[in-house]
Structures are given as structure tokens and as C-alpha cells.
Amino acid sequence: MIVTYTQDDGTAERMDTDDLSALEAAAIEEAMDDVPWRAIEARLQAQDPTALRAIVWAFRRREQSGLKFADVDVPGWRRRLKARLTRDEIADALTNIMTEALSKSEDSMIDAVTPHLRKLADDPAEVDAALDELGKGHLTRHAKESAA
């Protein structure tokens, strides 16, 4: 997952959770009162301010080793902090959905989730690319035709 922190001057700092070490991820879990990493990822997708702040904290600690979680604040966090899905995360989500959809022989589940994935994606075009890779590119074309 990519967390972006937009500074006052408009520049955006990008922090990729894939770049966290296991110790950094464990420190985030502990700082958030022993919330498991899977739940932290879900909270990031929901744009939870504590989870977003925890990612900023972990990256800041690389340069400021004594930085305490409680001391990290982001004024205007709603407009400054955003969590977005990476291409691999989009592909994983679509694969899981497709597996379930195929067992029921329907595309409606994929149709229902793709707008949400586009909203969360770091690059919304990656959702269409992932659908193409899964052999479901026709769903992308159908959505575009419906919107026109």
C-alpha cells in the first residue's frame, strides 16, 4: 500500500508499506495496541487516521530514532494523508474476487468492487490492466460504455 503525505507546498511524500522491515511492521502493530498487520492494512484502506499516522511515524523513525508515536501528528490529515493500493494488491483482490465469482459463474461481484478498487488504487488504470490480465477486460469496456 502507498501512503502519501502532501506537504504545505504541495509536494507529496510517498511511503510504500512494502518497504517496511519486519521490525518496523511489528513496531507499528505494537504502537497501535497490538493490532495485527492484516487489520492495519484494512484500516489503511478505510483511511483510518491512526493507521496512516503509524506509517508516517515508522518512516520518520528511520531518521529520528527516538521519535515517539504519540508525538507524530498531521494537521489536516484528511486532505494530506491518503492510502492507495499498489498494482500487486489490486491483482490479489481481483484474483480473490474472481475465484469466488467463477465458483458462482457471475461477473457481478467483480463489477461491484471495481469502482472501489479504482478509488483506492494509486493508479486507477492498473485496475483495468489487472482485469485484462485475468481475462476480464470485457468488464472494463462494459463499464466505460455504460458511463458514456
* Residue 92 cell numbers, joined: 490479489
* pLDDT at 146 exceeding the cut of 90: no
* pLDDT at 134 exceeding the cut of 90: no
What would the DSSP string read from start to end of 43-96? HHHTT-HHHHHHHHHHHHTTT-TT--GGG---TTHHHHEEEEB-HHHHHHHHHH
Closest CA to 16 of 5, 1, 32, 33: 1
Write down the pLDDT at residue 148: 47
Which has the higher per-residue pLDDT, 119 or 109? 119
Region 111-130 average pLDDT: 88
* pLDDT at 139 exceeding the cut of 80: no
- Torsion, Cα of 102, 107, 45, 118 (10° steps): 130
* Residue 94 cell numbers, joined: 481481483
- Cα-to-chain-centroid distance, residue 92: 12
Mean of the per-residue pLDDT values of the chain: 88
Please state whether beta strands 2-6 and 81-84 pair in parallel, antiparallel, or not at all (unpaired): antiparallel
Residue type, 130: A
* pLDDT at 102 exceeding the cut of 70: no
Region 97-114 average pLDDT: 73
Q: What are phi and psi of 62, to 5 degrees?
A: -65, -30
Region 18-44 average pLDDT: 97
Which of helix, strand or coil describes residue 61?
coil
The predicted-structure confidence for 43-97, as pLDDT tens digits, reads as follows 999 999 999 999 999 999 999 999 999 999 999 999 999 999 999 998 888 888 8
